[in-house]
Structure 1
Amino acid sequence: MSTSWYRLRHIASSETGSDDPLYLYIPRWQTIGKIAIYANNALVFKSEGGPMWNGYNHPVWVNLDAALPNAVQLNDVTIRIDHLTTAGSALSSVWVGPKSSLGLKHSTRSFLQNKFIEIASSAFLLIGFFSLALWFKHRQESIYLLFTLSSVLSYLRCMQYFVGAEPLYIPEVWFTWVNINASGWLTLVLYFFCIRLHGRRYPKIELTCIALMAMVSIVTLPALGIFADMGIIISFVNLIMFAELVFISGLMIFASWKSQSRDGMILSLLFILNVPLVIYDLLLQNYQINIENIYLLPYTTLGPLFVLIVIINRRYTAALIGVADANRILERRLEEREAELKQSHSRLKEIELRQAVSEERQRLVRDMHDGLGSTLVSALTVAERGKIDAEQIAEILHECIDDLKLTLDSLESVDTDILLMLATLRYRLEPRLNQAGITLDWQVVELPKLDWLMPTDALQILRILQEIFTNILKHSGATKIRVSTGSTQDKVSIEISDNGKGFDAEQVISGRGLVNLKKRTEALKGVIFWSSKGGGTLVRLTLRSSDQESS
């Protein structure tokens, strides 16, 4: 280690009680080592970072009035720089004066040397994270991932210009390794970004460059200890990086020119500006240029950053326009398809309507033929033979009217509701029951809807119930009829009982009336049960509650 000393004498102090304190301002200093500043032999400032990343790019700004006791005359300022003998050291001009005259110089210098670089690098990094989010949504667009990698590597490369005022969070050797290798990998990432613009590939050259960078990154690992001197590491890597930069820049320009890629050419030309700036910064780093100057390489981030943002924005905007166009095409196709479906649906509805009308017409003809027509033909035959009186004719006509009413009632929409159908039957039969002096005990409770109930099924149920009521009116001599309903999980039941004289089930089991009741019930996939004794008759009709086979 070596030490360099600098001393300033005969310094005019600020006036006692002045609101404009005296400051020491040093635009730049540089070495591999540390700096300490003494005022009247008292330590007033020392660098806090390590010997390599020691805040060399931060202007020194010291309030001398605050550092010295009140009313003490400032006689001299001594600057001490401890440095590696092989590294040398350099110090810019040193300013001592009131804050009012030096403050603007310090603020401007501080902004240009490190704050602006930190702000620009951080902005680039934030945009890179946004690009990463886009890549997660569009994995096929690797250009978004390359943009993110370039922003991260650019930030790592530029950190050396704005860190060091405070101790680093990681060992200096590792920070050095990250910083110098970031430059080489950034060059490769920008090259691959440019490939996405011009589309030309040189696989052997690309693999060679990747292998070279991987070898450099491994050889310079601090854990291996191949290079004990960090200065040698920096010089070794910078030499390789410069050669890589020149070669890759030329290749990018050549490929962009061959493919006639305007974006690729602009990015390549901006990138090749790094070559003279790298030379300039290397000369400044090795004290071949006045130390008053500032490093220019970090400012090269702005040009490629602007171009990359424009390209990414153009790609993103084009993708949005493509999505909008695709949505419009899909909407138009959907509208066309909907129109076709509506037209097809209208045709189907028309066909279904014609078919329903035809089926309903056939059903009405069949029901009137089997019911009303059959009864009238039978009555006509008996009347022609002269074996019927007026009372029998009236009874037959009542039956015909009731059958006609049943047919009409079956046309009503019951909406799978058996209670509505029972209410309609009650409305039709109650006048006849009152005329016959029979009391109706209506014990009907809420029943589940029958999802399988169609008009033909409704007519079958109405005819079964009407047959039961007709038998009661004709044969039972009852004075009271009780109608009740009930349901279980999968069945509903309708019970009709009377207080008439009953009948002998063994004698009438083969009669046409009970046989018809049984056939109609089987057609409904239901079960009918009857019992009769001296105290009356009970008939129970059990139906399934859902469209399944009844057990």
Structure 2
Amino acid sequence: MNPAASPVIAFRHAQTIRMIIWIIAVQAAFWSLALLVRPPVIDPVFKQNRLADVALQGPDGQMREPGGRPNYYLGEGREARFVATVRLDSPDQGLVVFAPRYNRWARLSVNGQVIPLSDAPAWRGGRLGGKWVVPPGFLRAGRNVLTLDIGRECCRAYLAALIAAPPGPIDRAIRQWRLQSALPPIGLMVLGLFGAVSCLMAAGRSPYRQLGHAAALAFIGMALGGVWQIDVLTPSSEPLYGAAGQLTLLATFSGLVALADRWFPGGPRFDRYLTVLAPAFFVVIAATAFTTDGMPTLLRNLVDTTIVVLANIAIIACVRRGLQQDRQAWIPDAAVVLLVPSISLADLIDSIQVDPLALSIAPLGVLALAILLMLGIVRRARMLSRRLEDANILLDARIAEKQAELEATAELLRQREAEAAVQGERSRIMRDMHDGMGGQLLSVLMLSRDENSPRHMITRTVEQAIDDLRLLIDSLDSVGDTMDIALGQFRERAETKLRAAGMKLVWSNALDGHSIMLAPGAILAVYRIMQEAINNAVRHSGGQVVSLAISRYGSNGIEIAIADDGRPGAGLWKRGRGLSNMEMRAQTIGGSLAIETGAHGTRVVLRIPAH
């Protein structure tokens, strides 16, 4: 033996053990969940009141034990009469008779009197069962004879059970049983349609278009299986009803084979067989749908078995093909896909041995298919992630080549941006000094050369220049501060000016530290508007109190209201350049200025919306 081959053999053995563990774990988890969803527990009320002495009356009137399976009483012909007895101690309570499952139609007679159905479900084959409420007048103390006539168009008549009990608990048990019988097919129909639509939408322009179409076909077959079990769209002909069930089975397995064939690498390989066998089965099934007796039971079982076996052979071949190419990568998918053979074979055995008219992989198949698609989504996401990682590795080499150049370029851009910002701020400061303090100093110079100029005019002009310089410095000091802090720096200067004029400042700030920030140029414009408003209040209002209220405006704006208690004339605010300068500064920073004058004084409102 070649020593170099030993590690390879050990690796293959390890993979085989891993595959077996995966298959056992998935099967155990799935069937445990299936038992939880559909526990094999008979309702205690049904079990307690089930009639055990059901006999079959032959054409000659003789009673004999009905044949059949453990869960069903079977008659040989299309019509059968089942007879049972029930003993009553108190017939005045009445009696409820319930047949959980029977085929085609049923008629109940009690002591020779025909009892009409108390409700008539629209489902074929008594899938919701038949309930008869027997009035006390039809009953007698002691032995009562129940005769149930069962009929159908083909095959044999069958009756699942016959239950008789007084009203009360039996009614609640019937409602619960019907609800449990109705929910699975309805949920199957809804989930199947949802899965089919989702797969078709996902397969629109996807590279997995064929995979999505195959999954949609399987989901459509399962949805049709739910519709078939609900029996809403099926006409009254029983052969057509049986053929519809077989066609849903054919559609479901055709979709599952096509999906598995495309799921694993190396496919598809079974499209040629599908295009030949599926139409052939369709023709055979459809040909019997419009006959008088429909497809015989043996032939129907043979067709169902052939569909299930051939489909499972194809699915197992797809799994084997995938494991041969990359066993380690496809073991989880194989374990999930192998649920389909186990579910379908268990369903086939159950339908042949127990339920004469129920063969449908759909209820549990939807869950298996959903698990497979979820696994596929995760797998393809991982594959995409690996491809992205490989692409990132290739890109990293190219990015590394450009990184130094980009860093140098970015550094140069940062320097230029910093220089441009400094130059812009320098230009703004120079412009503010030239327009503000420069003009005021020029006025002082002109007044000082004129010997007739009043001294107080020179003094006021110098004070204005100093105030403007302080505002400029304060705006530069407020860089990085929020508006409530920047405006707080203005408070001390406003109080000093008003105190010197014999007036009082009432300050109100409702920003509460809200992080509203403006550029230094905008803050300087706000300072100048506020200063002009306070200067006008000092010069013209004649009042005693100036209130300054700061609050939020809109979502993230600011409102500053400056009001005095004087009584100026309306014309004072219309003269001079002060008002025009205030409005121009407000517009420059994107705000608005409103002035309200009245009997209670003047109010200047500056509103700056969110930036």
> When the two structures are superposed, what TM-score results if normalisation uses the length of structure 2?
0.45
Compute the TM-score of the two structures, normalised by the length of structure 1.
Answer: 0.49
